[in-house]
Amino acid sequence: MTEAEAGAVPGGARRLPGVRGFAEWAGTGGESVAPKERGRALRDRVPRAAHAGFDPDTSRPDAVTAVEESNQGRIPELTPIRVGRMAATPFAFLRGSAGLMAHDLARTAMTRIRAQICGDAHAANFGLYGDARGGLVIDLNDFDETVDGPWEWDLKRLAASLVLAGREAGADEDTCRKAAHDAAGAYRRTMRLLAKIPVLDAWNAIADEELVSHTDAHDLVGTLERVSEKARANTSGRFAAKSTVPTEDGGRRFIDAPPVLRRVTDAEAAAVTLSLESYLATLSEDRLPLLARHAVHDVAFRVVGTGSVGTRSYVVLLLDHRGEPLILQVKEARASALVPHLLTAGFETPSVDHEGRRVVLGQKRMQVVSDILLGWTTVEGRPFQVRQFRNRKGSVDPAALAADQIDDYGRMTGALLARAHSHSADPRLIAGYCGKNEELDEAIATFAVTYADRTEADHTALVTAVRAGRIAAETGV
């Protein structure tokens, strides 16, 4: 057989006849124009300045109706807690209203470049958590709404949230707008960087120790160090020490701390425990010996954060042979609030066979490092995700930052968002669209200020409805 017959190319790479490339296998190939050029060409159809626009239409539900609709399917006695949390501040309202914002975003400019998006990428949904070797990483950390959708939706939600957080922190309007502008700029510059470097390097780019320098977020160093110190102490062991008591047989059990933590019936605890068998099948086999060295001792119900209040969420206490705890969270996974609005915007959405699986796979697609015990299960016909609880988690409260830190935080989160999107969308394509100048940054900042104003009006409407008794709210929980 000659070299030509074998597929060899003298002085070059071997050609293997009949073998397609990885892009074709993955269903992402077939484009004859380079991604960067395709991105540039999109500017003619969707000018970058168009992203400044936001004009609510007559189909937009009022704020109270939107909250009531989002409460459907939740545990009724817990929805007043959710409403009370949303009524606390405009930023808190935004945190709980991903569906309402998706309604609005479906009517804004879109390039129709798709990525795995968080769906709820507000400024408080970034944080620290532990990796398998005891280190800390910082990334997006909430994926309840994750879907395949338009990258702009995440960026606009982040930018608007930064304006609201800055206002709550007492920053002036120029500073708040600058935070949104800088978040978009960091997103754009990071995407350009990821488009230029080797793909394998880009996949794991912006190591955490380089993040501050990459985003020029040096004013945040002290804050991040304090958050990191707290995160290292935020473990299953510490939670168990505060929330459990010894039992006569040498184990431990949860103690009631209503309304946030409460014990459940034996039947409910048994259903959650039995669901862990199917959860094991969603894990990599190398994780199974780790869990096999623990035994389930108790199950309790625990109320979760603003957007998820009213969903079913359990903490499961496991102990090893030394009595050391490992706590799993078994959290109900509802359909993403973005789906109906994606359909309105003309985006086809694939059918989902299990909402917990959607959340877990979406998280793994966006994070560089994910929880090694991340999986999913079904409890009495409802889909749930499973993850470690208190896995050295820590977060920056963007509404508590000093005025000179909010723009640093914007740059940092904008860079992290770009990295997350680049795992599913070709960074060359988005970078080609975003370009080198600040036209997109200005447009996103303008949108963010306008949408923050709209959110403040929505928040006022909710507070008025609570005071009038139209909708029940429980505060301070």
Give 393-411 pLDDT, tens digit per residue.
Answer: 999 999 999 998 999 999 9
Q: How far is CA 226 from CA 208, 232, 382, 396, 398, in A?
A: 16, 10, 39, 9, 14
pLDDT in the model for residue 17: 58
130 - beta bridge partners? 136
- Average pLDDT (224-242) is 93
pLDDT in the model for residue 1: 45
- Average pLDDT (351-365) is 97
Dig out the tokens for 308 from the structure: 């998820």
| Res 9 pLDDT > 60 | no
pLDDT in the model for residue 15: 61
Q: Which residues of 457-475 are buried (b: 16+ CB within 10 A; e: fewer)?
A: ebbebbbebbeeeebebbe
Q: Are 115 and 148 in contact (CB under 8 A)?
A: yes
> What mean pLDDT value characterizes the chain?
92
The percentage of residues in the chain with a pLDDT greater than 90, rounded to a whole number, is 82
Task: For 254-268, give the DSSP string.
Answer: E--BTTTEEE--HHH
Any idea what the Cα angle at residue 304 is, between residues 300 and 308, rounded to 5°?
Answer: 125
| Res 212 pLDDT > 90 | no
Which value, to the nearest 10 degrees, does the dihedral of the CA atoms of residues 309, 105, 420, 358 take? 50
Question: Residue 305: which pLDDT band, with cuts at 50, 70 and 90?
Answer: confident
> Rounded distance, CA 471 to CA 457, Å?
17
Q: Is 24 part of a structural domain of the chain?
A: no
Which value, to the nearest 10 degrees, does the dihedral of the CA atoms of residues 115, 117, 119, 125 take? -160
| Res 8 pLDDT > 90 | no
- Average pLDDT (82-105) is 97
Of 134-143, 242-251, 435-444, minimum mean pLDDT range: 134-143
| Amino acid making up residue 436 | K
Backbone torsions φ then ψ of 23, nearest 5 degrees: -60, -40
Q: Which residue has the higher pLDDT, 178 or 10?
A: 178
Q: Is 154 part of a structural domain of the chain?
A: yes
| Res 469 pLDDT > 70 | yes
Q: Is 21 part of a structural domain of the chain?
A: no
pLDDT in the model for residue 5: 46
Of 109-113, 235-239, 291-295, 437-441, minimum mean pLDDT range: 235-239
pTM to 2 decimal places:
0.93
| Res 11 pLDDT > 70 | no
| Res 111 pLDDT > 80 | yes
| Res 206 pLDDT > 80 | no
Q: Is 430 part of a structural domain of the chain?
A: yes
Domain coverage including residue 106: 40-235+334-467
Q: Is 416 part of a structural domain of the chain?
A: yes
| Res 300 pLDDT > 60 | yes
Q: Is 159 part of a structural domain of the chain?
A: yes
- Average pLDDT (5-15) is 53
| Res 270 pLDDT > 50 | yes
Question: Residue 24: which pLDDT band, with cuts at 50, 70 and 90?
Answer: low
pLDDT in the model for residue 25: 60
Backbone torsions φ then ψ of 140, nearest 5 degrees: -60, 145
pLDDT in the model for residue 33: 77
- Average pLDDT (372-401) is 95
- Average pLDDT (91-99) is 97
> Rounded distance, CA 94 to CA 181, Å?
19
| Res 20 pLDDT > 80 | no
| Number of domains present in the structure of the chain | 1
- Which residues, including other chains, have CB under 8 Å from residue 390's CB and lie 6 or more apart? 234, 235, 236, 238, 239, 327
- Average pLDDT (31-48) is 92
Question: Residue 6: which pLDDT band, with cuts at 50, 70 and 90?
Answer: very low
pLDDT in the model for residue 7: 47
Question: Residue 476: which pLDDT band, with cuts at 50, 70 and 90?
Answer: confident
- Average pLDDT (90-118) is 97
Mean pLDDT highest for which of 193-207, 294-308, 451-465? 451-465
- Average pLDDT (211-233) is 90
| Res 148 pLDDT > 80 | yes
- Which residues, including other chains, have CB under 8 Å from residue 248's CB and lie 6 or more apart? none
Q: Which residues of 184-200 are buried (b: 16+ CB within 10 A; e: fewer)?
A: bbbbbbbbbbbbeeeee
pLDDT per position as a tens digit, 238-258: 999 999 999 999 999 999 999
Q: Which residue has the higher pLDDT, 36 or 304?
A: 36
Q: Is 368 part of a structural domain of the chain?
A: yes
